[in-house]
Structure 1
């Protein structure tokens, strides 16, 4: 029986969102300054008066724009070394450890930037579908390639990735409204399964 497992990352497998954690780890001083500057945007976002993708891009860009791909990748590896396995829910790690990869294709489907989720995906022997950072001449432009991988975009990207692969069963795991479309699309949607 061939299975497809789709895991949201932040909050589903981890205890909290990795974006703030990673950006703070990347440059604490810059993070603090930019966080304060972005507070008005975060408030408007909470009131649903701003688009989440714009705020997210602005905040990530304010810290990482102009940085080289190699430095960001190096920092992502250090981030992994420091925070794995502490930020993960124990029962999620237990579940992942027991996956039979010979009959199962596994994907992390994340709105976070793939660049800092990648070391975790590799550790779990999973494919990665995530929001992609745009690099020009190996320098981060502050933009994303395509859309923020959230909501309906998660399903679009999954379909693009698996193309005509046939599975007997697909199971998705998520914990927020941004995962709802993915949970509905799969044969089985597990909400807050590891909580």
Structure 2
């Protein structure tokens, strides 16, 4: 048992989203949901060489992701995009891993602070936790202008070291809290190493 008296800010639990709390990558699932199977396939074919280079570590993750996002959603009215995000969460609850959501609810019941730290876009991650107002989502933010998406990211892609940076922006006094983190990929390595307790692929 952790002696919380040593940590004035108590326990903080940081959950990755894609692959950790979900069964699949939510970006790809969201594109398929929003654009349809045909448009999804065309997008995948168009960017498959770039995605292969990204997987090989020869092309930056964030650049590939932003190109795909821009191709699919640049110019879309923000209100329409957010409405699609809300429908996505409502109609795709099966994407969530039951064990992960159970753990999340246990954390909240015990009075812990729960944060979702994800490279995915805030707009479609947040609706999955609409029934848990205590959960705070930290993700990649997107830019909008004149009521429409520009296709660009407003923040750095919340991946790798950026996850630690974003966590410290929320809770800078690292010695004041006990951190438990859950992840499933190389994009979570720095966060897992930074935590007092790090769990890799814990909900499978």
Question: Quick check: 2:104–2:114 contact (8 Å CA) kept in 1?
Answer: no
1:4 has 2:12 as partner:
yes
| Residues 102 and 90 of structure 1, relative CA distance in 2, 3 Å threshold | closer
Render the CA deviation track for 1:65-124: whole Å, top value 9, x for unaligned. Answer: 10111111100110011111x111121122122223563111000000111101013333
Question: Quick check: 2:19–2:25 contact (8 Å CA) kept in 1?
Answer: yes
Residue in 1 that maps onto 2:122 = 114
Residue in 2 that maps onto 1:188 = 197
CA distance in 2, matches of 1:77, 1:191: 29
Of 122, 129, 135, the residue aligned with 2:144 is 135
1:75-154 matches, within 5 Å, as 75-84=84-93, 86-101=94-109, 103-125=111-133, 126-154=135-163
Residue in 2 that maps onto 1:159 = 168
CA distance in 2, matches of 1:26, 1:97: 29
1:70 has 2:79 as partner:
yes
CA distance in 1, matches of 2:114, 2:176: 12
Stretch of structure 1 that moved more, 5-14 or 100-109: 100-109
What are the ranges of 5 or more consecutive residues in structure 2 without an aligned counterpart?
5-9
Question: Quick check: 2:159–2:188 contact (8 Å CA) kept in 1?
Answer: yes
Measured on the aligned residues, the alpha-carbon RMSD in Å equals 1.6
What are the ranges of 5 or more consecutive residues in structure 1 without an aligned counterpart?
none
Please give the secondary structure, in 1, of the residue aligned with 2:107.
coil
Question: Quick check: 1:4–1:167 contact (8 Å CA) kept in 2?
Answer: no
Please give the secondary structure, in 2, of the residue aligned with 1:130.
strand
Tell me the number of residue pairs that the alignment of Structure 1 and Structure 2 aligns: 194
**Structure 1 residue 31 displacement after superposition:** 2.2
Residue in 2 that maps onto 1:16 = 24
CA distance in 1, matches of 2:17, 2:68: 20
Residue in 1 that maps onto 2:7 = none
CA distance in 1, matches of 2:145, 2:173: 32
Question: Quick check: 1:3–1:167 contact (8 Å CA) kept in 2?
Answer: no
| Residues 173 and 36 of structure 1, relative CA distance in 2, 3 Å threshold | same
CA distance in 2, matches of 1:182, 1:100: 21
CA distance in 2, matches of 1:165, 1:135: 33
TM-score normalised to structure 2 length = 0.89
